Amino acid sequence: APTIGVFALQGDVREHLRMLETLGVKAIGVRRPAELDAVDGLVVPGGESTTMAKLARTFELLEPLRDRIKRGMPTFGTCAGMILLADRIEDGSLGQETFGGLDITVRRNAFGRQVDSFEGELTIRGVEGQVHAVFIRAPWVESVGPGVEVLGQVEVAEGASRIVAVRQGPLMATSFHPEVGGDTRIHELFVDLVRDSTAGTTVHSTS
Ligand code: GLN
């Protein structure tokens, strides 16, 4: 079974560890470079993205993380984790560092104060039926590069949707929190990416 790490300097680490264990993979918290070396894939949880980036730098994980992601480590970011995997952050977060890797531009806290947190049913590519999605001060994806596959969108007004789930090769991200509740199917998608990559298969985007 593959070993999957959860970035554990800040954020909702336990929920992800529990989900991964439910799926039969070895799951460990990642706080140091040696722990990062030991994993086949990584989950970057929800939390506070500016704090997470600062802690990553302080604990000398930022460059190792960037390097592993660049070399193709399967990585799954949820909410703040999506922000950290984005190559670009829309205005209001000027100078904020990210791990990068996903050719997307995200907008932080995008759904606004009126709807700080909300839940809804979504259709996610690769998952049958509906997914119950929990959004907490969530980002949305403003724009995606050509190699990025859109996995899910949420309707924000009549005829207007925003992208909330993406995949690019071995990288995946959701604006919402699939680790909340008992639905393991989004994590399963990610575990499949990790298994494919440890099997020596190169994972290509299907878009
Ligand atoms: N608003 C947070 C940020 O910008 C993300 C919130 C979350 O991860 N639930 O980092």
pLDDT digits (tens, 9 = 90+) for 79-89: 999 999 999 99
Segments making up each domain of the chain, as ranges: 3-198
Question: In angstroms, what is the span from residue 46 Cα to ligand 1's centroid?
Answer: 6
pLDDT given at position 207? 46
pLDDT digits (tens, 9 = 90+) for 113-145: 666 899 999 999 999 999 999 999 999 999 999
- pTM value? 0.94
- Name the E strands within 16-112: 26-30, 41-44, 75-78, 86-89, 102-107
Q: Which parts of the chain register pLDDT below 70? A: 92-94, 113-115, 200-207
pLDDT given at position 177? 97
Interface confidence (ipTM) of the complex = 0.95
Instruction: Catalytic residue, from 15, 16, 177, 187: name it.
Output: 177
Is 48 annotated in a binding site? The answer is yes
* Helix H or strand E segment including 151: strand 149-157
Determine if ligand 1 sits within 6 Å of the CB of residue 169: no
CATH code: domain 3-198 is: 3.40.50.880
- Distance (Å, whole) CA 153 – CA 161: 6
